[in-house]
Amino acid sequence: MRILWASKGVHPLARNSAGGLAARGHDLRLFTLNRPAKPWSVPRMGPDVDPKTGPVVGPLAIRRACKAFQPDVVFANFAMTYGAYAAAGVPRKTPLICVTWGSDLLKHGGWPGVRHALTSPALRRADAVLANARHLGQRATELGARRVLVVPYGIDTELFQPGLPAPANWPEGEGVTVICNRAMKPLYDHETLLRAFTKVDGARLVLVGDGPLRRDLEGLARSIDLGDKVSFTGRLPFPDVPRAVAQADIWASAATSDGLPLSMLEAMSCGLKVVMAELPLCDDWRVPDAFWTFPVGDVDGAAEALRQAIAAKAKPDATRQKILEEGDLQGTLDAFEALARELSA
């Protein structure tokens, strides 16, 4: 099958899904308007342009790519960007699958101007819309999608597994290790986790990654006297990420909005317990005695959830089993492949 995957080309979803489909023998091309920082193993189509010109340049460029490549089906992610370019540029005879993620529908893509100009036209044009959680699928329908399929976007369970060796320079410490490896942006509300740790004993917090708020968060950690209870590792090379996650006991997130975080699935695949802000996605991923939630932005609630998780004795690999059953990348590829075959037929 000839597949054109249209995306920015940097998100793990694109790399996992497109790379997995190509590995299954499909003739796949990446269409993108900017050269990805990391090389791709599949051929790339599309000009190098300023991303801000995407709504103008994207439709014509993807039409040209379709004319040259003649794909059987086009996958486009996310809705408000490449989904919109594809909606305007992919020939009507070519099936279009819009791959949504979270903020493209729940946040930025729902803003009135963006919604009417980009998001809703993409969802209405698509022959099928993929959503990684039920609440995201409901939002897609509200915004105009004609057909929605809920498919959890899975992860590589062989890459993320328990027992991996620690990466170089991994911070040593005593007690239970809690890890948060989300981008340091306002959406992910690291401040709530830091303040909660002033009320938690017997554990340390390791913040992996970087972002515009890192300096502020480091200053906050000093000002509330967390000392050696918190470590900032900075951004890690991707090969070190599975090994870093595997060193922890608990994965924590205070995100105020989410579709389905791959980082949570990766942590569960490594056997970690989960503590996170209560969001609609939680209903589908709870594991008894291994999954705790707290109200969004509630410092005391986060502290109590962390204390319960630290004290709990979960069954070995209880969360990993959940991922093997419902969050494995191969299941995602099966669903993507089946839908592509159906539409191209």
Categorize the per-residue pLDDT at 192 as very low, low, confident or very high, splitting at 50, 70 and 90. Answer: very high
Classify residue 215 as exposed, middle or buried by CB count within 10 Å of its CB (0-12, 13-18, 19+). Answer: exposed
| Same-domain check for residues 120 and 221 | no
Model confidence, pTM: 0.92
pLDDT at residue 38, rounded to an integer: 81
Q: How confident is the model over 9-28, as pLDDT tens digits?
A: 988 889 999 999 999 999 99
Q: How confident is the model over 224-257, as pLDDT tens digits?
A: 999 999 999 999 998 999 999 999 999 999 999 9
Alpha helices in 235-328 (DSSP H): 240-246, 262-269, 299-311, 318-326
What are the beta bridge partners of residue 176?
Answer: 203
Q: Coil, strand, or helix at residue 307?
A: helix
User: Does 333 fall in a domain?
Assistant: yes
Closest CA relative to residue 333, chosen from 5, 52, 58: 5
The pair of structure tokens assigned to 161 is 């597994």
Helix (H) or strand (E) holding 27: strand 27-31
Count of domains observed in the chain: 2
How many Cα atoms are found within 13 Å in the side-chain-facing hemisphere of 105? 33
| Same-domain check for residues 145 and 55 | yes
Q: What is the domain-level CATH number for residue 227?
A: 3.40.50.2000
User: Does 270 fall in a domain?
Assistant: yes
pLDDT at residue 32, rounded to an integer: 96
User: Does 137 fall in a domain?
Assistant: yes
Q: Which amino acid is at 302?
A: A
Percentage of residues in the chain with pLDDT exceeding 90? Answer: 91
| Same-domain check for residues 132 and 77 | yes
Residue with the bigger pLDDT between 173 and 92: it is 92
| Same-domain check for residues 285 and 245 | yes
| Same-domain check for residues 200 and 213 | yes
Q: How confident is the model over 97-144, as pLDDT tens digits?
A: 999 999 999 998 888 999 999 999 999 999 999 999 999 999 999 999
| 51 has pLDDT over 90 | no
Sheet of 176-180: strands edge to edge? 230-234, 203-208, 176-180, 250-253, 273-277, 291-294
Q: Which amino acid is at 312?
A: A
Number of other residues whose CB lies within 10 A of the CB of residue 161: 18
pLDDT at residue 39, rounded to an integer: 83
pLDDT at residue 234, rounded to an integer: 96
| Same-domain check for residues 230 and 339 | no
User: Does 281 fall in a domain?
Assistant: yes
Q: How confident is the model over 270-326, as pLDDT tens digits?
A: 999 999 999 999 999 999 999 999 999 999 999 999 999 999 986 778 999 999 999
User: Does 159 fall in a domain?
Assistant: no
| 166 has pLDDT over 80 | yes
| Domain span at 17 | 2-154+328-344
pLDDT at residue 173, rounded to an integer: 86
User: Does 165 fall in a domain?
Assistant: no
What's the whole-number average pLDDT of the chain?
Answer: 96
User: Does 166 fall in a domain?
Assistant: no
| Same-domain check for residues 8 and 110 | yes
